[in-house]
């Protein structure tokens, strides 16, 4: 099994002070930076692009940057994020006409490749893609906004993907995104997740270190 990763989603950070927010959350023990890219087309919201990723690198951020593309199409923007310092790039399979090609593109640029599944999206493409990817990202909310409630059916889906990953024998991470809190993360970990995105549970709260360590302790318990 993989080590536990806490990946705060900067969607809930104070964008007027983003460099300091990211420094603070990493100093608090977070492992990755989760970077939500929304295009007002694939999802009904608009956020940030490669320029902001590059700005975080120039600011001195050395942690992995986990780019979650909620854009359609995906291929044109992937090289820009690789050049901007992304280490992980995931996309929703229905947003690419050629999923295998998009995954190869991400890997050819030296990044880890992930596929993202919405709450109602079937896992079919994993039948052919599990041997190609580095991580699976399961959405436990509908993409587009932070601060939504965890959808309970994601637990069964986690168990299903965990079984597929274990059967594959490959070192694939299982990431969960949406509504993850200190009080449900233990159950989510038991269902098979090893990589946890959390936005509103961390940013805007007074004590990042307290929340990150509470989450890690709950996963370890």
Q: Which is nearer to Zn ion, 11 or 212 (CB)?
A: 11
If binding is defined by CB under 6 A, does position 180 make contact with ligand DX5? yes
- Cα–Cα distance, 31 to 34 (Å, whole number): 10
In angstroms, what is the minimal distance from the CB of 209 to ligand DX5? 18
Closest listed residue to residue 154, CA positions, set 188, 181, 125, 182: 188
Q: Is 85 labelled a binding residue?
A: no
**Of positions 50, 93, 114, 146, contacts ligand DX5 by CB under 6 A:** 146
Q: Is 178 labelled a binding residue?
A: yes
Number of neighbouring beta carbons within 10 Å of residue 28: 17
Q: Is 102 labelled a binding residue?
A: no
Using CB under 6 A as the binding criterion, the count of chain residues that bind ligand DX5 stands at 21
If binding is defined by CB under 5 A, does position 39 make contact with Zn ion? no
Beta bridge partners of 37: 69
Q: Site residues for Zn ion, window 67-86 (CB under 5 A)?
A: 68
Active site residue 177: yes
Point out the catalytic residue in the list 39, 134, 177, 194.
Answer: 177
**Of positions 49, 177, 188, 198, contacts Zn ion by CB under 5 A:** 177
Tokens 């587009």, residue?
Answer: 144
- Cα–Cα distance, 77 to 41 (Å, whole number): 14
Closest listed residue to residue 153, CA positions, set 181, 103, 117: 117
**Of positions 71, 105, 141, 191, contacts ligand DX5 by CB under 6 A:** 141
Residue 35 dihedral angles phi and psi, to the nearest 5°: -120, 105
Q: What is the DSSP string of 38-94?
A: EBSSSSS-B---HHHHHHHHHHT--S-EEEEEE-SS-TTTHHHHHHTT-SEEEE-GG
**Of positions 201, 211, 215, 218, contacts ligand DX5 by CB under 6 A:** 201
In angstroms, what is the minimal distance from the CB of 186 to ligand DX5? 16
Point out the catalytic residue in the list 31, 36, 66, 134.
Answer: 36
- Cα–Cα distance, 18 to 33 (Å, whole number): 12
- Which residues have a catalytic role annotated? 36, 177
Q: Which residues are at the interface with ligand DX5 (CB under 6 A)?
A: 9, 11-12, 34, 36, 68, 141, 143-144, 146-148, 177-180, 197-201
Q: Which residue positions form the known binding site for a divalent metal cation?
A: 34, 36, 68, 177
Q: Which residues are at the interface with Zn ion (CB under 5 A)?
A: 36, 68, 177
């Amino acid at each position: 099994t993989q080590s536990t990763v806490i990946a705060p989603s900067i969607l809930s950070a104070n964008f007027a002070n983003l460099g300091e927010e990211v420094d603070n959350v990493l100093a608090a023990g977070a492992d990755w930076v989760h970077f939500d890219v929304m295009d007002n087309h694939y999802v009904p919201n608009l956020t940030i692009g490669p320029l902001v990723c590059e700005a975080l690198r120039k600011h001195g951020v050395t942690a992995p940057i986990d780019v979650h593309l909620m854009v359609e199409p995906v291929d044109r923007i992937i090289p820009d994020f690789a050049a901007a310092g992304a280490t992980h790039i995931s996309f929703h399979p229905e947003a690419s006409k050629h999923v295998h090609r998009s995954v190869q593109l991400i890997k050819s640029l030296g990044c880890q490749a992930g596929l993202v599944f919405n709450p109602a999206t079937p896992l079919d493409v994993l039948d052919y893609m599990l041997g190609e990817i580095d991580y699976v990202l399961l959405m436990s909310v509908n993409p587009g906004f932070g601060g939504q409630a965890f959808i309970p059916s994601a637990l069964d889906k986690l168990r299903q993907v965990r079984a597929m990953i274990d059967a594959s024998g490959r070192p694939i991470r299982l990431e969960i995104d949406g509504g993850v809190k200190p009080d449900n993360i233990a159950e989510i970990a038991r269902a098979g997740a090893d990589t946890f995105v959390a936005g509103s549970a961390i940013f805007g709260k007074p004590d990042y270190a307290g929340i990150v360590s509470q989450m890690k302790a709950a996963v370890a318990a």
